[in-house]
Structure 1
Amino acid sequence: MATDTAGKVPAIAHAVRATEESTGLTFDVCVDLDATSPLRTLDDIRTAVRMFEDGTADSLITGAEARRNPYFNLVEEQPDGTVAVSKKPDDAVLRRQDAPRCFDMNGSIYVWRRGALLDDQVVFFPSTILYEMPAERSIDVDSEFDFRIVEWLMGQREDL
């Protein structure tokens, strides 16, 4: 499971099974807190899990409102080298504010129902829901630049 191409969800499912086997416990809900998203708060975790447990979704992800919208100002390169809006809406969107709300996954908190996680080992189900977090707590550290931003933001926080 520890390869450059291995997905994290099968590893999480494996960890759940191994933990249940070694402890004799069975978990109803499984939560993944990515180490690369250190700005989430305890309240974010509690609220996301509560939101999940109060509903019927098979999974929950976290994200922040996207700065770019695929219906308005996010483009894809076409095979001929031209670009086009990534997601063509039925009606023209003339202002970003009129486009459907879109979110950037922030990789901060993932929540699954045990059965869904173990059976399908995916993040998204038809019932997946989103817990929205503010941009200032939604930076995923994937580069040295991200690390520097997070380091600065953590120095400004009063809730640590």
Structure 2
Amino acid sequence: MIENKSVLAIIPARGGSKGVPRKNIRDLAGKPLIAWTIEEAQKSIYIDRLILSTDDEEIAEIARNWGCEVPFLRPLELAQDHTPGIDPVLHAMETLPEYDYTMLLQPTSPLRLSEDIDACLEHCIKQSAKACVSVTVTDKSPFWMYYLAESSELQPIIKTDRPVLRRQDAPDVYVLNGAIYVAKSDWIKQNRTYLNAETIGFVMPKERSIDIDAMIDFTIVETILKETRLQEEK
């Protein structure tokens, strides 16, 4: 609990991932991908109940082996390519309705730490926010992004009377890193999203913000984890 408010954390892991088949249980530095999120969530000092939402019995069994509760199997209609990401959250909330805050922890953010999870909750509470999501500074500023017009002319995404010519003059721009979403449960039910004008951002460092979407991401994260272990052993 945090300030006498209960917290439900949901790890979504459907079986039919397309980019990397069976991605959620693919080995990453000696553990299935979902295990990295399960272990960090279990260290949280605020999460009251941690569950996995999946349609896949193999994924469910692996999660149980890592100590994560799987109270139900998600209906197949909520595990399709076109299923909105909020739908499994709403389904879990209907099944387990008694929590004040509901958090979504995607398994594709294996570098996220329990400290990030707890700090995001604290930030949400401290700011009296309805919802809070994790973000990180992007290296690729939209001030230097363009689209191609019909005749291949470069048209800036952001049009301004004063072009930003130097990187150091550009304001910091943030992107969702997909690691942490948290909001008041009643607010989620009403808005059916974690993101609207009332949502605030919680900044995470770039080195913990990699979202695994393709095989190259597994390679990058595995390299980071191996390097971290080497440093810890010195």
TM range (shorter): 0.7 to 0.9
Q: Does 1:10 align with 2:87?
A: yes
Instruction: Measure the CA separation in 2 of the matches of 1:36 and 1:148.
Output: 13
The CA deviation at 1:90 is 4.7
Instruction: Measure the CA separation in 2 of the matches of 1:18 and 1:90.
Output: 52
The one-letter amino acid of 1:8's match is G
Distance 1:56 1:93, change over 3 A: same
Residues 64 and 134 of structure 1 are in contact (CA less than 8 Å); yes or no, is this contact kept in structure 2?
yes
Instruction: Measure the CA separation in 1 of the matches of 2:213 and 2:88.
Output: 20
SS in 1 for 2:142: coil
Q: Does 1:129 align with 2:210?
A: no
- Rg larger in 1 or in 2? 2
Residues 58 and 125 of structure 1 are in contact (CA less than 8 Å); yes or no, is this contact kept in structure 2?
no
Q: Where do 5+ consecutive residues of structure 1 fail to align?
A: 21-25
1:138 to 193, 209, 212: 209
TM-score for the superposition, normalised by structure 2: 0.61
What root-mean-square deviation, in Å, do the aligned CA atoms of Structure 1 and Structure 2 show?
1.7
Instruction: Measure the CA separation in 1 of the matches of 2:149 and 2:174.
Output: 23
2:114 to 42, 46, 67: 42
The CA deviation at 1:19 is 1.4
Instruction: Measure the CA separation in 2 of the matches of 1:68 and 1:3.
Output: 31
Q: Does 1:93 align with 2:164?
A: yes
The CA deviation at 1:80 is 4.0
SS in 2 for 1:4: coil
The CA deviation at 1:117 is 0.9
TM-score for the superposition, normalised by structure 1: 0.87
Distance 1:79 1:144, change over 3 A: same
CA distances 1:42-96 after superposition (whole Å, capped 9, x unpaired): 111111111011122222111211111112x222233443332222235321212
Q: How many residues align?
A: 153
The one-letter amino acid of 1:150's match is V
Q: Where do 5+ consecutive residues of structure 2 fail to align?
A: 1-77
